[in-house]
Chains A and B, each alone.
Chain A
Amino acid sequence: MGRDFIYALRGLRRNIGFTLAAAITLALGIGLNTAIFSVMYGVLLAPLPFHDAARIVSVGTHFKDKARTIPRLTGGDLTDIIHDNRVFEAISVYTGGEIGVQLGDRATFTGTWFVRPEFFGVFGIQPVAGRLFGASDKALLAEVSEGFAKRNFGSASAAVNKAITIENRLYQISGVLPAGFAYPRNAEVWVASPVQLENLNRSAYNYAAVAKLKPGISRDGAQAEMETVGARLASAFPADNKAKTFAVTGLREQITGSIRLTLFFLLGAVTLVLLIACANVANLMLARAAPRAREFAVRAALGAARSRLVRQLAIEGLTLGLLGGALGIVLAQAGIDLLIRFAPANLPRANEVHLSVPVLLFAIAISLFSSLLFSLVPAWNAARADVNEALKQGGVRGVVGGQSGWLRSAVVVTEISLSIILAIGAGLLFRSFWALTQAPLGYRTDHILVMYAHEPANGLDQSLRAIKTVSDLYPKLAAIPGVVSVSAAMGLPTGTYGSNGMYAVRGKNTFAPGQDLPQAGFRLANPNYFGTMGIQVMRGRDFADTDVYDKPFVAVISESLARQSFAGEDPVGKQLQCGLDSLNYMTIVGVVGDVRQDSPASTPAPELYMPLAQHPFYANEVQVVMRTSVEPSALMDPVRRTVAENNPTMATKFTTMDAMVSNSIATPRFRTYLAGIFAGLAMLMAMSGIYGLMSYMAAQRTSEFGLRMALGAQRGDVMRLILRQTAGVTAIGIAVGLAASLLSTRVLSSILFGVQALDATTYIAVLVTILVVALAAAAFPAWRATRVDPVKALRQE
């Protein structure tokens, strides 16, 4: 066996061209798979880096009628779940996000989360300095991250007992949590939330919850318990809870759910690339084995066991596979770096992606699997070779023409069909992405500077004052050269804030039990928000400076909401109420155009716009939008300075509307680009496969071509022969690839936007492309065939 390896290595070294071609092809396939798998492993499979991570779950609401789960709960439901808890060792609510934290004379946007002391128990986290706040603490306490402590106080221990201000309240830092712990999203500050949740209704999904299962309680067990609670609440509160229950989801699944499908899709794509690479190497091995067929035949005739020959091929394959695997791992390292660099910013756990031991094991496993795959064909070929036939070689006397080469053709057909599947997948993603970039959004994205602004406020008075502080800024911002108009909203399209819920139209429905209420997105805006954003006012009016807290409440609705609740009527003047804060009736004063809110992929949905000034509890954290006449990012500095001069306590963070929209489609962009690269690679490999096949075929047919030319065939005639043969092989590949694509691209349906999985344009474009690629690959062998010298080709040996 060891000797066989040495022979194999020697053989590979002798055939350095073959070895390099095969090893590089394999390395590409294995490297890509390893890189994608490492992302998959780090994001989806590796345990979360928490103590007893498998027991950490998220509790959310499941809507039975819509078969949909959201990772949020209402205050009322959560309170009952905590009260009835029998399955969780610890459970904690958490709410928050990036808000302004004031430190001395500075204000910075910081991931700030309100949690219960149980939160730390869920994660089994211990402070590196100070202590964790507990249920008995009466003072306002906060934990901060090690990074936050070092940045602001120099060290972890120096931060303990220092003060930070959040929403005008002074918190004392009681402890510092270790570096690397940043849950929930980007958390740097954790402060104690009140025991009693603020909003105890059962219709506003404002709270998230994490919990740790008691030892011995399975996730299914906890789920069953949650359903029991759900059923009880459903009968106790049918109006709100009739159609809902609660869902226990592994925290890991909950964090990574959104990227899951994309990663599986990418893994599928690179698997196809690897299969194509294996096919290519199989054909290279067949080509290499061909001159040795005689040698093998002679040896077989002399009594060598077939199994020995097969073993020799298998060992060569294995050696080659491991060589390719080693190179592939090197490539994978580079690939991982690139993947992480270009991954969407919201890729969860990106920092946990690296060449870990499981990933290396995966690389070795697929190397071995590949060896098996590409050694199979030549080994089978060698094992079944007819000794007699091989010894005769050249077949029947007096006859020219190629061996049929059907085995190699079959391998190339496989390559072609696999690359068609990939190319059609990539084509569909591209068309879908293109549609995303072209979708009418309902607002303009260019020349809009966005400033996330957080003015600390606590209680109604401070909130009302914050509204004034923010709007007092507008004239100063508008005075900055390049700023055309200024307004603000809570709930910008593609932004991180938003709320939704049910509403009731006066005279049609009420918040009374048993009512099936319509849904809408809730957004708050200042006057001139619609104008600044280019959202069209279709009827009625925009909000006015006079729509303030102590004046009658008003609202503006989107066209979709008008269709949903006021078909055939004029909505202006009608009244409605919603569960955002108070159930005050609001009079509809205007109707505006529909907007694709979450991303260009979302369908325009009913939206209910309310004046910021009439909903002060949401008004101190807004997104200020500035229409500019110049490149908006150029105004970030002047705007930041103006704000700092006037309101040092206001935390600000800048972006542009263009960047926000671009970020909202980062995941589709990422997978589209990757799919494009993979499909391109697959095409190149298929191309080299076709080239190899056609060179072989042309070489086989050299004397036939010589004969045909002697008989008067023109060069074009000979060229056509090769191209026709290419077209034949390609046609079979296309037929198989089409059939497979029709069956398989359906899995893409759920991530396609504005294009059907059976999009004819994509199919046709791919088919034309593959035909062109195939003919281009065959062009050189075909050209070479026309250079055959008939005299030489026909010379008798």
Chain B
Amino acid sequence: MSEAMIQLDGVKKVFITDEVETHALSGIELNVRKGEYVSISGPSGCGKSTLLAILGLLDTPSDGSYTLNGKAASGLKISERARIRNREIGFIFQAFNLIGDLNVYENVELPLTYRGMGSADRKKAVMESLEKVGMSHRVKHYPSQLSGGQQQRVAVARALAGNPSVLLADEPTGNLDSQNGEAVMDLLRDLHRNGATICMVTHDPRYAKFADRTIHMFDGRIVEESIEAVV
């Protein structure tokens, strides 16, 4: 068995707004091995995005523990969390979230600039990851000049560029038509085949089946895990 990349023990998340407590996560146990492709599904509001935010160190659990790549994630300083996000995690969002003022190259380069990488190294990494997503011919374009599918491929390239330990994708096809959606899914599958660890939230059962394992959530809990037969 390869080693654990993600380990969640009894993770809870409670949001308190206007004296109302929302139990977004109520005791999550989850292990993701290195190189594993996990898809997370469940009805809207069941806590999928919250779970992904905790995995991505964007949010902290109210209770329980989280170990990422062998290191406990609790009690880290804000700056350390930012550093880990930058090096260990690649995010892909539903709304592709490219920065309008930056061109394709600069968007992909962005996470690398936050780790003080030399510009030659950055260029190599950016071009490699743009090639992986088939967008290397569009480096000078601005997001507004690209289609939705192309934008999301650029977003994937940005997630890959830093060579992260884990890719976290929250409904990456949610804003795409089915053709573009499939292309992005194919891309993720290729990345997985080349060894990437992926946690992806999706509603779409067609895409869920690309994963090694599908987790179903309901009301803040994992209610079912199904393991796909390896093709």
Contacts and interface: CB of A to CB of B under 8 A. Distances in A.
Nearest to A712: B86
A708 B82 CA distance: 10
A400 B100 contact: yes
B78 A715 contact: yes
Contacts of A717: 114
Contacts of A400: 97-100
A544 interface: no
A401 B175 contact: no
A712 B93 contact: no
A715 to B, nearest CB: 7
Nearest to A717: B114
Given A398-B98, A398-B151, A712 B158 contact: no
Contacts of B58: 710, 790-791
B94 A711 contact: no
Contact of A711 (B110, B143, B151): B110
A712 B85 contact: yes
A712 B79 contact: no
A714 B79 contact: yes
B53 interface: yes
B100 A395 contact: yes
Contacts of B97: 398-400, 703, 707, 794
Please indicate which of the listed interface residues B49, B95, B111, B144 has the most CB atoms of chain A within 10 Å of its own CB: B95
A403 to B, nearest CB: 10
Contacts of A182: none
Interface in B154-184: 158, 162, 174-175
A495 to B, nearest CB: 68
Nearest to A704: B99
B105 interface: no
A399 B53 CA distance: 20
Contacts of B101: 401
A715 B95 contact: no
B209 interface: no
B79 to A, nearest CB: 5
B59 to A, nearest CB: 5
Contacts of B220: none
B100 A401 contact: yes
Contacts of B91: 710-711
Contacts of A795: 49
Nearest to B99: A401
Contacts of B94: 796
Given A708-B110, A791-B59, A398 B148 contact: yes
Contacts of A796: 94-95, 174
Contacts of A740: none
Nearest to B91: A710
Given A401-B100, A401-B101, A712 B144 contact: no
Nearest to A403: B100
User: For the complex, would chain A's binding face be called helix, strand, loop or mixed by DSSP majority?
Assistant: mixed
Contact of B82 (A703, A704, A709, A791): A709
A703 to B, nearest CB: 7
Given A707-B97, A710-B56, A791-B53, A399 B143 contact: yes
Interface in A746-797: 790-791, 794-796
B115 interface: yes
A711 to B, nearest CB: 4
Nearest to B53: A791
A95 to B, nearest CB: 77
Contacts of B158: 711
Contacts of A401: 99-101
B37 interface: no
Contacts of B95: 397-398, 794, 796
A530 B86 CA distance: 80
Interface string B138-153: 0000011000100110
A651 to B, nearest CB: 80
Contacts of B56: 710
A710 B91 CA distance: 8
B113 to A, nearest CB: 9
A200 interface: no
A397 B82 contact: no
A597 to B, nearest CB: 65
Interface in A395-414: 395-401
A704 B107 CA distance: 11
A712 B114 contact: yes
A399 B158 CA distance: 14
A713 interface: yes
A399 B93 CA distance: 12
B66 interface: no
Contacts of A710: 56, 58, 85, 91
A398 B115 contact: no
A335 to B, nearest CB: 46
Contacts of A708: 99, 110, 114
A715 B79 contact: yes
B144 A399 contact: yes
A176 B158 CA distance: 95
Contacts of B53: 791
A711 B86 CA distance: 5
A715 B87 CA distance: 16
B114 A713 contact: yes
Please indicate which of the listed interface residues A395, A397, A399 has the most CB atoms of chain B within 10 Å of its own CB: A399
A395 B96 CA distance: 14
Contacts of B174: 796
B105 to A, nearest CB: 15
Contact of A397 (B78, B87, B99, B148): B148
A790 B60 CA distance: 12
Please indicate which of the listed interface residues A703, A704, A708, A796 has the most CB atoms of chain B within 10 Å of its own CB: A796
13 contacts: A396-B144, A398-B148, A399-B99, A708-B114, A711-B86, A711-B114, A712-B83, A713-B82, A715-B78, A717-B114, A791-B49, A791-B58, A794-B97
Q: Can you list the 9 inter-chain pairs with the closest CB atoms, starting with the nearest?
A: A712-B86, A398-B96, A399-B100, A401-B100, A711-B111, A396-B144, A712-B114, A399-B143, A712-B85
Interface of B: 49, 53, 56, 58-59, 78-79, 82-83, 85-87, 91, 93-101, 110-111, 114-115, 143-144, 148, 151-152, 158, 162, 174-175
Given A711-B91, A794-B93, 16 more contacts: A395-B144, A397-B148, A398-B152, A399-B98, A400-B99, A400-B100, A704-B99, A708-B99, A710-B56, A711-B111, A711-B114, A713-B114, A714-B79, A714-B82, A715-B79, A794-B97
